[in-house]
Amino acid sequence: ELWDACAAALKQDLTGAEYSTWIMPLQAQEQDEAMCLLAPNRFVKDWVKQHYEQRISRLCAEISSGRIQQVRFEIGTLGDDRAAPVTRGTSGGRAGGEGNLDRRRAESNLNKEFTFATFVEGKSNQIARAASVQIGKNPGTAYNPLFIYGGVGLGKTHLMHAVGNTILDSNPGAQVIYVHSERFVSDMIRALQHNKIDEFKARYRRVNALLIDDVQFFGNKDRSQEEFFHTFNALFESKQQIVLSSDRYPKEVSGLEERLKSRFGWGLTVGIEPPDFETRVAILHSKAALLNIELPEDVGYFIAKRMTSNIRELEGALRRLVANSQFMGASIDLAFTREVLRDMFVAQDRQITIENIQKTVANYYKLRVSDLTSAKRTRNIARPRQVAMALAKELTKASLPEIGNAFGGRDHSTVIHATRKIEALRASDTMIEEDYRILLRTLTS
């Protein structure tokens, strides 16, 4: 076809990003002596006209041996035709204009913050992440559909956006739609009311990648399921990527037709589990870095220890902490964190007791608890005792006299001395620092 040849010639002249951003989305329609180029929106149309009109006109005339006399530019797409298939691999790279790519993301409902770079990998999400990375790189050819299931706040939505963002990064011309299934349902109802169901259908069946979140909301919505069934088939047959998420395994989504359930399982089904302690800590630090906050290690442990099941809550705790520290001009340390987040985890806080600390410290240094509470002052006992006191000060709400009392009836000034000593030693003696951190971690995790 004439336009294909013309586009191929343009490709020689342009960078990959220019080509995929401006030329690939164009569709051509020949009308006698004129070639009409359809752009998906005004922005693309104006840009192409401004930058490439002359070149395109000349090429068209040359390649058609003078038959094409005129090139026109319009906004639109060809009938019910699918957008040009995603070209994979080498073409593209980042779009020349970041602004344009941002626009493409917005049109696709994609949140640009949700990328693989900001997604912390752990055992709990490793497979789901790996599968999503593959889909991002090879949409339509790796697994279809990709079905991600798992509990609330574990990263399903984040991964779906990351897939969409990756596809657009390497091919800004790709048609990607992210949509929550509730939105799909309400859009469809509105389309029905306004006699625009054909447009609705066309919109979804034209895409290169359709990301539908929380499909459990399709449960018992028969008309939507019917429509989605056909969309699914159309995309599947033409090898366009489908990514779905749900709070449970496809077969267990209730109120869903069998034919959809079975289709959902045709590709790859991956689960996300609640993150383990290490991953929670890593996520906190990663989110803190995004907020430009330096999160002390012990604070990370402290929060990760207490928020175990849901990453959204973990993030909520961090945001609250940061907001409070900025508002009050306070630095984020353990005491401040405990204070600010107190109501989020009163129950767990009671678990760290002085007794608990004494046992843990004694065990760590291979001593007996009675050594710590005894009057013995030899170094190998006195130092662990000071460590235990400092930990008690840091991790419990006990007052200085209470702590002193718990260590064989010592005076509160002894406790102060111990905490100061340990603080100084932690800064100068790496052994002590390491001991202290390990203990802190054991106690808070």
List for the chain the helix, strand, coil content (%; round to 5): 60, 10, 30
From the list ligand ADP, Mg ion, none, partner contacted by residue 119 (C-beta under 5 to 8 A by kind): ligand ADP
From the list Mg ion, ligand ADP, none, partner contacted by residue 145 (C-beta under 5 to 8 A by kind): none
From the list Mg ion, ligand ADP, none, partner contacted by residue 152 (C-beta under 5 to 8 A by kind): ligand ADP
User: Which residues 380-439 are close enough to bind ligand ADP by CB under 6 A?
Assistant: none
In three-state secondary structure terms, 227 is helix
Q: Binding of Mg ion at residue 157 (CB under 5 A)?
A: yes
Beta carbon of residue 161, minimum distance to ligand ADP (angstroms, whole number): 8
Distances (CA, A) of 338 to 301, 322, 396: 12, 13, 10
Beta carbon of residue 140, minimum distance to Mg ion (angstroms, whole number): 23
Paired tokens of 45: 């149309």
Site string for ligand ADP, 279-308 (x = CB under 6 A): ----x--x----------------------
CB 232 within 8 A of CB 261: no
From the list ligand ADP, Mg ion, none, partner contacted by residue 83 (C-beta under 5 to 8 A by kind): none
Q: How many CA atoms lie within 13 A of 91 on its CB side?
A: 22
CA 21-16-243 angle, to 5 degrees, is 60
d(CA 161, CA 423): 45
Beta carbon of residue 135, minimum distance to Mg ion (angstroms, whole number): 17
Residue 369 phi, psi dihedral angles, 5° rounding: -60, -35
Beta carbon of residue 314, minimum distance to ligand ADP (angstroms, whole number): 7
Q: How many CA atoms lie within 13 A of 29 on its CB side?
A: 14
Burial class of 86 by CB neighbour count within 10 A (0 to 12, 13 to 18, 19+) = buried
Paired tokens of 14: 């342009």
Q: Which of 92, 155, 164, 250 is in the footprint of ligand ADP by CB under 6 A?
A: 155
Beta carbon of residue 178, minimum distance to ligand ADP (angstroms, whole number): 12
Q: Which of 104, 105, 158, 305 is in the footprint of ligand ADP by CB under 6 A?
A: 158
Q: Which residue is nearest to ligand ADP (CB)?
A: 155
From the list ligand ADP, Mg ion, none, partner contacted by residue 283 (C-beta under 5 to 8 A by kind): ligand ADP
CB 146 within 8 A of CB 167: no
Residue 265 assigned as binding residue? no
Site string for ligand ADP, 102-141 (x = CB under 6 A): ----------------xxx----x----------------
Which range, of 45-53, 153-161, 313-321, 355-363, touches Mg ion by CB under 5 A?
153-161
Q: Which of 154, 168, 212, 317 is in the footprint of ligand ADP by CB under 6 A?
A: 154
Burial class of 90 by CB neighbour count within 10 A (0 to 12, 13 to 18, 19+) = exposed
Q: Binding of ligand ADP at residue 157 (CB under 6 A)?
A: yes
Site residue total, ligand ADP (CB under 6 A): 17
d(CA 190, CA 177): 18
Paired tokens of 24: 């690939």
Q: Please say which residue, 72 or 312, places its beta carbon nearer to ligand ADP.
A: 312
Q: Which of 153, 265, 274, 296 is in the footprint of ligand ADP by CB under 6 A?
A: 153
From the list ligand ADP, Mg ion, none, partner contacted by residue 280 (C-beta under 5 to 8 A by kind): none
CB 316 within 8 A of CB 340: no
Residue 137 assigned as binding residue? no
CB 175 within 8 A of CB 83: yes
Beta carbon of residue 209, minimum distance to ligand ADP (angstroms, whole number): 18
Q: Binding of ligand ADP at residue 311 (CB under 6 A)?
A: yes
Helix (H) or strand (E) segment spanning residue 73: strand 70-75
Enter the DSSP assignment of 25.
T
**Where do the H-state alpha helices sit in 209-296?**
222-237, 258-264, 277-290
Taking alpha carbons only, the member of 83, 84, 54, 47 closest to residue 71 is: 54
Residue 155 assigned as binding residue? yes
Tell me, what amino acid is at 323? A
Q: Please say which residue, 125 or 170, places its beta carbon nearer to ligand ADP.
A: 125
Q: Please say which residue, 315 or 349, places its beta carbon nearer to ligand ADP.
A: 315
Residue 156 assigned as binding residue? yes
Residues 6 or more apart from 184 whose CB is under 8 A from it? Answer: 212, 224, 228
Beta carbon of residue 156, minimum distance to Mg ion (angstroms, whole number): 5
Q: Which of 156, 206, 280, 410 is in the footprint of ligand ADP by CB under 6 A?
A: 156
CB 37 within 8 A of CB 56: yes
Beta carbon of residue 217, minimum distance to ligand ADP (angstroms, whole number): 13
Q: Report the binding-site residues for ATP.
A: 153, 155-157
Using CB under 5 A, list all residues that contact Mg ion. Answer: 156-157
Using CB under 6 A, list all residues that contact ligand ADP. Answer: 118-120, 125, 150, 152-158, 283, 286, 311-312, 315
